[in-house]
Structure 1
Amino acid sequence: MASYKAITALVFEGRSYDEITGLVGCSRREISMVKKTITAKNLTAAATAAMSDEQWAELFPDKRRSVSEAFIQPDFVGTLKSMKSNKHFTLQQGWRMYVGLDSARPGRKYGYSRYCELFTEFVNTHDVVATLHHDPGRALLVDWAGDTLPVADMVTGEIRKGYLFVAVLPFSGLIFCSAYADMKQDSWNNAHVQAFEFLGGSTQLIVPDNAATATHRTVKDDSARVVQARYQELADHYSTAVVPARVRRPRDKAAAESAVNTINKRVIGYLAEEIWTTFTELNSAIKERMVEVNEQMRRADGTTRSERFRAAEAELLQPLPAHRFDTVSWKQLKVGRNYHVTAEYQHYSVPYKLAGQMLRVRLTGSNVTIFDGDTLICEHPRKSGRKGQYSTVAEHAPERHHDLEGLWTREWFEHRAKSFGPATVTVIKMILDRSVIEAQAYLDCQNILMTLGKSNKQRLESACQQIVNQRGYPTYTTLKRIMATITGDKKQSHPLVPAATNTKSPPGPADTPSVMVRGADYYKDR
């Protein structure tokens, strides 16, 4: 509604139509109506200046109010209550209920579009909520993103899920994100450690949701929750406190929900269609995407998340402790016949002489350390992801197992062929050299060495020698056929020996070894 009081004051000042419309934003028709009213009522500038709001309303009545009074007013209070208690209740359903009111009531009813406009105005003025103000460096909100990214195992072909951990500073909006093989306690704690290291400090509070890795109920069906013991150890190490968000209070962690939404669009949306084979590769790609989110995307105030963090929040974080937090657990494990201990479905080698003994194993988030009593035996990086992986140190294996190193390579096959003989080595090299893609010859080499030569080393060497002598084309079938004709050592092929010469020996000392050939005169009289 136009401000008729302002229009009237400008009219008495002698302003033109263009000036008044520019200053007040009214229409020329409204200016014309004000001038006519001044003339009809004989109004003066002093009289209008002393008029009250009620007198102005009588002088220039709001016709829209009289029009709206002709409509039956909707029950927006009830509609809003229904939408909050029933997530499936729609605004169209509320409008249908409004239209279906007793038709005997006098008055008109709004159409659906006008009903929606009025409901929006009602919500903006009546459904007022408190705005959370976040202090810089005070809280870190954490959560798992709902969606996952696929990670393919190159050994088994199994497609595993990469779970994305999200942490956000609500004041600056700076986001940390990383992928993990599961959502268990070790991954949860390790994610927090990496988040604090990414920020360069810790906050006074950590605000998670009520995940099982964060809190639990000490008594069944009791609403009271306590922080998980290992999670509390992490909080104590970084001098912070865990304050979970209230149940069914999404506004408590609105910044985390917003960060998860950003990750879904800016990270998962970009990376979901690619094939990832390791979590290292996936996290490297996530790190590149987070550079755009934190350092390139500008918000409404023109700043980036990183700029605001460095300017107003980085210095307020608590310093990191001297040592990185690591959860420690101990196990008593027996060394298997394959000189490996098995911890959390992964296998770690020890010196083979310890096979069958009980050893003490210390498990942390990143390492597996093995002790014989108080004596340190060895340490391995901890395996994660697919079950049944091996971490083997070559020095732990006995000498007879060393030829297993580098399995399925050219050097491995040539090394195996040496135990048969030089002809077998030559044949294996011929087979490997003739393939355009060397790996395509590995199966042929495997069949020759491990099938034909499994219990017939001498016969395989003899068959290979025949192939070399004849400069043949070695294949599994050819060697098998040749070996079938060799029934014993007497029939085994031997390296080629040059034939003896049939020429007379030159004169020389009698003790010089030579070959004597009879001449033609010897046979004349016979």
Structure 2
Amino acid sequence: MADFKAIMTLAVAGRSYDEIVAVAGCSRRDVAAAKKTIAAYGFTAGQIGAMSPQEIARLFPDGRKRVTELYERPDFDRVLASMRENRHFTLQQAWSRYLVSSAANGGKKYGYSQFCALFAEHARVTDVVATLHHEPGRAMLVDWAGDTLGVVDAVTGEVTGVYLFVAVLPYSGAVFCHGYTDMTSASWIAAHVAAFSFYGGVPQLVVPDNPATSTHRPKRGESARVLNARYQQLAEHYSTGIVPARAKRPRDKAAAESAVNVVNKRVIGYLAEEVFTTAQALNEAIGARLVEINERIPRADGSTRWERFTADESGLLQALPADGFDSVEWKQLKVGRNYHVSCDSQHYSVPYTYAGQLLRVRVTSTTVTVFDGDQVICEHVRRLGRKGQYSTDVAHAPTRHRGIDGLWSKRWFTDRARGFGPATEAVIAGIIDRHTVEAQGYLDCQNILESLGKRNKARLEAACQVLLDTGQGPGTYSTIKRIMATIDSDTKKPKTITPAAATRKPAGGADPGAGIQAAVHVRSAEHYRRDGQGGQG
């Protein structure tokens, strides 16, 4: 409550609103109320200085006290005594006993949450630390671990940080941990689903911290926080309650802090120096560490966390719902010039005719579905892990772009060779098959298709056909180049072989109907010999 005596003293002295607020630490409304009271009663500085606290309280009554007087005050000293005598005594039992007790003044009863808040305040004022005894199967505390691990990309060497989600059942101490490449709302929801599946049931309460992925302030400047819509849907699906821990109250989440400390030492401490190339491999290693934490490390009483969980807690958890909960997020994304939409740093193809348009995208934990209005255009398996991955359907690409699929492979070269003709395709396939190491034939194929056939498709096809007809085998770049040199560049066919002229006269003399050329005498080669035996011409 504001110190109205100090406020009135400053007001009578002629101080401004801002000065009084700064000095007295009150609100402007309190200053206005004080000024109004001074004006109504005509108080002087001396009169104000002589007033007792009771007189000030009568001038400025506290409405909250009048409301509090309507409720019956719990006997918190008795609650503390019961806790000291019985370590199994809980606040739930104390509140139940408070409800059935007879009210001396017929006052109202506090609800459970207000009862706990008043007890915590009573313990703080009386300098007593209340020991909180957790009920089995009642609560699950969750938080992100402060430290991270890394996943190394096997191709680029880039290191992606992996954030560890930690859940613990405070009664048994059973710990769950799983790694995610981000701390978005989708990962937060997926982590809860995985935790429920790990424990095989659902507790009555989930107690998170107050991260932006779970709560938000409905209005700027307000201290109150409400659950995010998707987080509330998770709670309704699993029939559990979500009660975030109070700000600046570390004791509310002491079990979670302890579990995070265990994960830092027993998980991060053991795995930080190992190299993982996928998030899946890292999570498998984390799972192995959880087995040791839960099933092998003994507690103070000699039992393990999992033994206590199995014996006293697992049977009290609510059954998992028949249908699993899947996180759904809707986005409106613009299709890039490369006919892909970018979602959470991953890229998914759509038909190229949609390039430049805004489309609706539904993102779940496993799929990415693209809509044009209410019509489904395409669906992809959601890419996880390393950022910048592409999920491309070849059917979405224009015809001129489809040759890029399967780059640097036998299929890629034979697909390109098919555009030249069947002979070229057969020769290219033979060149690749000829090598023991397939990749050793790629350079010859690249040179043949790019250098020889770039502007001479028909000539290359004709040369490959000659190569196949003559049975010379697949050939090489040099062989095909020599054959192409013998092909007429105009007709795009091999030159026709012209037979030598005959040296013999037609039998039976000249044919009168054959014209003048039939009577031409052609000398044989013997006539031109110089060994003395030929004719003289």
Q: TM-score, normalised by structure 2?
A: 0.59
Change (3 A) 1:458 1:195: same
| CA–CA separation in structure 2 for the residues paired with 1:424 and 1:376 | 38
| CA–CA separation in structure 2 for the residues paired with 1:224 and 1:209 | 14
SS at match of 2:348: strand
Shift in Å, 1:187 = 1.0
**Which residue does the alignment assign to 1:235?**
235
Change (3 A) 1:190 1:491: same
Cα shift readout 1:21-64 (whole Å, capped 9, x = no counterpart): xxxxxxxxxxxxxxxxxxxxxxxxxxxxxxxxxxxxxxxxxxxx
| CA–CA separation in structure 1 for the residues paired with 2:463 and 2:271 | 55
**Which residue does the alignment assign to 1:407?**
407
Change (3 A) 1:442 1:427: closer
* 1:245-394 to 2 correspondences below 5 Å: 245-333=245-333, 335=335, 338-351=338-351, 359-394=359-394
| CA–CA separation in structure 1 for the residues paired with 2:496 and 2:298 | 81
**Which residue does the alignment assign to 2:202?**
202
**Which residue does the alignment assign to 2:140?**
140
Shift in Å, 1:168 = 0.8
| One-letter identity of the residue aligned with 1:323 | D
Q: Could you list the runs of 5+ residues in structure 1 that have no partner in the other structure?
A: 1-126, 501-517
Change (3 A) 1:375 1:493: closer
Of all paired residues, the percent bearing the same amino acid is 59
Change (3 A) 1:452 1:150: farther
Change (3 A) 1:435 1:490: farther
Cα shift readout 1:257-287 (whole Å, capped 9, x = no counterpart): 2222222233223333333222223223322
Change (3 A) 1:296 1:344: same
Change (3 A) 1:358 1:250: closer
| CA–CA separation in structure 1 for the residues paired with 2:268 and 2:448 | 48
Change (3 A) 1:315 1:349: same
Shift in Å, 1:412 = 2.2
Shift in Å, 1:171 = 1.0
Shift in Å, 1:211 = 2.0
State whether residues 209 and 245 of structure 2, in contact with CA within 8 Å, keep that contact through their aligned partners in structure 1. yes
| One-letter identity of the residue aligned with 1:164 | L
* 1:49-128 to 2 correspondences below 5 Å: none
| CA–CA separation in structure 2 for the residues paired with 1:262 and 1:479 | 70
**Which residue does the alignment assign to 1:430?**
431
Shift in Å, 1:288 = 2.8
Cα shift readout 1:421-455 (whole Å, capped 9, x = no counterpart): 5357535643564364x345545644553455443
Change (3 A) 1:467 1:298: farther
**Which residue does the alignment assign to 1:510?**
none
**Which residue does the alignment assign to 1:16?**
none
SS at match of 1:365: coil
SS at match of 1:213: coil
Change (3 A) 1:445 1:208: farther
State whether residues 444 and 476 of structure 2, in contact with CA within 8 Å, keep that contact through their aligned partners in structure 1. no
Shift in Å, 1:482 = 5.9
| CA–CA separation in structure 1 for the residues paired with 2:337 and 2:220 | 45
Shift in Å, 1:185 = 1.3
Cα shift readout 1:441-473 (whole Å, capped 9, x = no counterpart): 545644553455443435656777899988898
Cα shift readout 1:221-242 (whole Å, capped 9, x = no counterpart): 5544333333233223322222
* 1:15-54 to 2 correspondences below 5 Å: none
| CA–CA separation in structure 2 for the residues paired with 1:310 and 1:261 | 23
Change (3 A) 1:157 1:229: same
| One-letter identity of the residue aligned with 2:427 | T
Change (3 A) 1:473 1:167: same
State whether residues 487 and 495 of structure 2, in contact with CA within 8 Å, keep that contact through their aligned partners in structure 1. no
State whether residues 459 and 486 of structure 1, in contact with CA within 8 Å, keep that contact through their aligned partners in structure 2. no
| CA–CA separation in structure 2 for the residues paired with 1:140 and 1:495 | 86
Cα shift readout 1:315-374 (whole Å, capped 9, x = no counterpart): 211223333333433344555565544444433334556666654432333322233443
Cα shift readout 1:51-105 (whole Å, capped 9, x = no counterpart): xxxxxxxxxxxxxxxxxxxxxxxxxxxxxxxxxxxxxxxxxxxxxxxxxxxxxxx
State whether residues 335 and 354 of structure 1, in contact with CA within 8 Å, keep that contact through their aligned partners in structure 2. yes
| CA–CA separation in structure 2 for the residues paired with 1:494 and 1:486 | 6
Change (3 A) 1:356 1:209: closer
Shift in Å, 1:183 = 0.7
Change (3 A) 1:361 1:405: same
SS at match of 1:275: coil
State whether residues 464 and 479 of structure 1, in contact with CA within 8 Å, keep that contact through their aligned partners in structure 2. no
| One-letter identity of the residue aligned with 2:236 | D
| CA–CA separation in structure 2 for the residues paired with 1:466 and 1:203 | 78
Cα shift readout 1:123-158 (whole Å, capped 9, x = no counterpart): xxxx98433211111111111112212112345442
Shift in Å, 1:192 = 0.9
**Stretch of structure 1 that moved more, 383-392 or 208-217:** 383-392
| One-letter identity of the residue aligned with 1:212 | A
| One-letter identity of the residue aligned with 2:175 | I
| One-letter identity of the residue aligned with 1:242 | I
Aligned length: 379
| CA–CA separation in structure 2 for the residues paired with 1:173 and 1:479 | 76
| CA–CA separation in structure 2 for the residues paired with 1:144 and 1:326 | 21
State whether residues 488 and 494 of structure 2, in contact with CA within 8 Å, keep that contact through their aligned partners in structure 1. no
**Which residue does the alignment assign to 2:131?**
131
1:165 aligned onto 2:165: yes
**Stretch of structure 1 that moved more, 309-318 or 233-242:** 233-242
**Which residue does the alignment assign to 1:244?**
244
Cα shift readout 1:141-190 (whole Å, capped 9, x = no counterpart): 11111221211234544211111111111111111111111011111111
| CA–CA separation in structure 2 for the residues paired with 1:458 and 1:157 | 45
| CA–CA separation in structure 2 for the residues paired with 1:154 and 1:279 | 12
| One-letter identity of the residue aligned with 1:378 | C
Change (3 A) 1:220 1:480: farther
| One-letter identity of the residue aligned with 2:138 | R
| One-letter identity of the residue aligned with 1:184 | T
Q: Could you list the runs of 5+ residues in structure 2 that have no partner in the other structure?
A: 1-126, 501-523
Change (3 A) 1:459 1:136: same
SS at match of 2:412: helix
| CA–CA separation in structure 1 for the residues paired with 2:280 and 2:404 | 27
SS at match of 1:257: helix
SS at match of 1:188: helix
State whether residues 424 and 460 of structure 1, in contact with CA within 8 Å, keep that contact through their aligned partners in structure 2. no
SS at match of 1:168: strand
Change (3 A) 1:253 1:411: same
| CA–CA separation in structure 2 for the residues paired with 1:362 and 1:407 | 30
Q: TM-score, normalised by structure 1?
A: 0.60
| One-letter identity of the residue aligned with 2:158 | E
SS at match of 1:131: coil
Shift in Å, 1:385 = 4.2
Change (3 A) 1:305 1:340: same
State whether residues 145 and 165 of structure 1, in contact with CA within 8 Å, keep that contact through their aligned partners in structure 2. yes
State whether residues 367 and 382 of structure 1, in contact with CA within 8 Å, keep that contact through their aligned partners in structure 2. yes
